[in-house]
Amino acid sequence: MVRYTKRLSITLAALASTVWLLAGAAHAQLPEFTDLAEKAGSAVVNINTVKTVDTDQRQRLFDQFRDRGGPFQDFFENFERFFQQQPRTQRSLGSGFILSADGFIVTNNHVIEGADEVHVTLQGEENYKAEIVGRDPDTDLALLKIDPDNKLPTLKFGDSEKMRIGEWVVAIGNPFGLDHSVTAGIISAKGRIIGAGPYDDFIQTDASINPGNSGGPLLNMDGEVIGINTAIVAAGQGIGFAVPSNMAQRIIEQLKSGEKIRRGWLGVSIQNLDKDMAKALGLDEPRGALVANAMPGEPAARAGVKTGDVILAVNGENVKDTNELLRKVAAIKPGQKVRLTIWRNQGSRQIDVTLGERDSERLAEGRAPSMQPDGGSKSEIGLTMRPVTDREAQALGLDSPQGLLVTDVAADSPAGKANIAPGDVIMEINQQAISTVGEFEKVIEESSEKGVVIVLLKRRGQNIFRTIPLGQ
């Protein structure tokens, strides 16, 4: 009994020692944030804005109730008279960080957008009125300038590309007006697309980001800014998004020099590939950006890019999808020459394109009147179609009668499942122009072994690619 008790005591002691060592090891692996927070925090600022509120909607609401009459009419008239005498302003809070000792400050565009006044408060409670140097709504970035009494502490940009998922990061900002709050977490993902703008490429983090953090820095463990905190998921916790520093730095440098933000332009409409599209085009996997339309007279078309090409790389750098192509081209200044690697007719080739300048007005959507066509020949994949007439060509936005007009689609057919609709015009099949149902059916027959065809549609003036599986 004594031996058993002694052996048990030794075992428990050894177990306790192991637990203590493991706990100590785990504690030793946790990062230390105190020095980083103290040093970086001095360069983080609070931003508050004042702007005049548009009162048109409020006025309409008053008028709506007042015009109803009744016992509350006097109340609304007195209420309105009182508030007509009051300044109608709106205040908001955000964050930012000092980029240079002479007072340049980075923040989000949405923090200062529409502001009549912008004020910056430093960590020591010094308050300055700020000038908006420049802003870029497309990336939600803005640059401010204050005239400080002394040299200011600064933060510098780090390399967001080098950051890896799982690395520690620190966010500092002004959540809910609580100045210089510090939160820590990891990088949860990179390259997130959240629909905020055309150049979405966000860093996702679980470091707590809340209203008021916007414009504040996301820091690596060396105290470098690797992101600008920008967005949150309202219904979630531990999900925040930051603009990568490598994108932000290029924009901020242009704003600081007083340049207009200029972005490269190819002049193509593009779409992503799925597995069926890649198979139909002879690609090993879905990659690159499929050119749905090479706009006539624009840089890509002038250089020889054609509708149906797949852009695989820009200057030797692979393109994963349409978003990546858009970002790569936009990061290059207009007038520069780029080398595109494209896939055409089962092989790759290179085309040099001198970029134009991106202009949002060029992106206006083309429109064509809706059609209710009928008649035509029915195919085995569920399409009823016929050649386009002279009168229909003009209404459909075509230069001349070309292609096959879809007049009906069987709901459970391969064409129906491919989201082809009545009123679509099939311009090409497997990159071959067609004008008769016979030509269409011939390509279908020749593609039976491949098991899929890719068609180019014209829909409401826009080019769209769809794949149709065969033999189903």
Torsion of CA 451, 457, 459, 464, to 10 degrees: 70
> Is 321 annotated as ligand-binding?
no
95 is catalytic: no
| 389 residue type, one letter | T
- Short-list 453, 451, 424, 426, CA closest to 437: 426
Which CATH code for domain 44-145? Answer: 2.40.10.10
pLDDT score at 167:
96
- Short-list 433, 414, 190, CA closest to 307: 433
Angstrom distance (rounded) from CA 243 to CA 135: 14
- Short-list 126, 209, 140, 206, CA closest to 175: 209
Higher pLDDT, 315 or 193: 315
Using pLDDT thresholds of 50, 70 and 90, give the confidence band for residue 449. confident
Lowest mean pLDDT among 29-33, 194-198, 214-218, 382-386: 194-198
User: At which residue do the structure tokens 């890896």 appear?
Assistant: 164
Per-residue tokens: 454: 């890719």
110 is catalytic: yes
Q: How many helices (H) and strands (E) does the chain have?
A: 12, 28
pLDDT score at 370:
35
- For 184-194, the pLDDT digits (tens) are 999 999 998 88
Integer distance in angstroms from the first to the last C-alpha of the chain? 78
Neighbours of 235 (CB within 10 A): 6
- Short-list 371, 374, 380, 265, CA closest to 325: 265
pLDDT at 68 over 70: no
Q: Is the distance from CB of 333 to CB of 262 less than 8 angstroms? A: yes
- Read off the DSSP letter of residue 88: -
Mean pLDDT over residues 326-350, rounded? 93
> Is 214 annotated as ligand-binding?
yes
- For 88-128, the pLDDT digits (tens) are 666 778 999 999 999 999 999 999 998 899 999 999 888 99
pLDDT score at 220:
96
| Architecture of the CATH domain 377-469 | Roll (2.30)
Angstrom distance (rounded) from CA 260 to CA 262: 6
Angstrom distance (rounded) from CA 68 to CA 60: 13
Angstrom distance (rounded) from CA 194 to CA 61: 34
Neighbours of 144 (CB within 10 A): 27
> Is 13 annotated as ligand-binding?
no
Tell me the whole-structure pTM to 2 decimals: 0.67
> Is 173 annotated as ligand-binding?
no
Which CATH code for domain 160-256? Answer: 2.40.10.10
Angstrom distance (rounded) from CA 247 to CA 410: 47
119 is catalytic: no
pLDDT at 45 over 90: yes
pLDDT score at 371:
34
Higher pLDDT, 72 or 240: 240
Using pLDDT thresholds of 50, 70 and 90, give the confidence band for residue 5. very low
Of the candidates 92, 95, 188, 214, the residue annotated as catalytic is: 214
Residue 14 CB partners (closer than 8 Å, separation 6+): none
pLDDT score at 448:
76
Angstrom distance (rounded) from CA 159 to CA 226: 6
pLDDT score at 411:
75
| 2 residue type, one letter | V
Per-residue tokens: 64: 């709506």
- The ranges of the chain annotated as CATH 2.30.42.10 are 264-363, 377-469
pLDDT score at 359:
74
Mean pLDDT over residues 50-55, rounded? 70
Percent above pLDDT 70 for the chain: 80
User: At which residue do the structure tokens 């609070």 appear?
Assistant: 46
Lowest mean pLDDT among 209-218, 280-289, 421-430: 421-430
Using pLDDT thresholds of 50, 70 and 90, give the confidence band for residue 349. very high
Of the candidates 92, 95, 136, 140, the residue annotated as catalytic is: 140
Per-residue tokens: 216: 């504040």
Q: How far is CA 342 from CA 68, 334, 345, 348, 433, in A?
A: 66, 21, 10, 5, 20
**3-state DSSP helix/strand/coil percent for the chain, to nearest 5?**
25, 35, 40
Angstrom distance (rounded) from CA 333 to CA 355: 8
> Is 409 annotated as ligand-binding?
no
> Is 121 annotated as ligand-binding?
no
Q: Among 2.30.42.10, 3.40.1190.20, 3.20.10.10, 2.60.40.1250, name the CATH number for the domain at 264-363.
A: 2.30.42.10
> Is 364 annotated as ligand-binding?
no
Q: Which residues pair with 458 in a beta bridge?
A: 425, 463
What is the chain's length? 472
Q: Is 127 helix (H, G, I), strand (E, B) or coil?
A: strand
Angstrom distance (rounded) from CA 123 to CA 37: 12
- The ranges of the chain annotated as CATH 2.40.10.10 are 44-145, 160-256
Neighbours of 316 (CB within 10 A): 8
pLDDT score at 378:
60
Higher pLDDT, 274 or 229: 229
pLDDT score at 47:
94
pLDDT at 20 over 70: no
- Short-list 384, 467, 469, CA closest to 424: 384
Angstrom distance (rounded) from CA 410 to CA 8: 78
Angstrom distance (rounded) from CA 244 to CA 331: 13
pLDDT at 323 over 80: yes
- For 222-273, the pLDDT digits (tens) are 999 999 999 887 666 778 999 999 999 999 999 999 888 889 999 988 888 8
- Short-list 88, 92, 10, CA closest to 46: 92
Angstrom distance (rounded) from CA 233 to CA 210: 9
> Is 390 annotated as ligand-binding?
no
> Is 213 annotated as ligand-binding?
yes
Using pLDDT thresholds of 50, 70 and 90, give the confidence band for residue 443. confident
- Read off the DSSP letter of residue 389: P
Using pLDDT thresholds of 50, 70 and 90, give the confidence band for residue 376. low
> Is 231 annotated as ligand-binding?
yes
Angstrom distance (rounded) from CA 423 to CA 414: 17
In degrees, rounded to 5, the angle at the alpha carbon of residue 120 between the alpha carbons of residues 119 and 125 is: 120
H runs (alpha helix) in 226-351: 245-256, 275-281, 299-303, 322-330
Of the candidates 92, 110, 188, 424, the residue annotated as catalytic is: 110
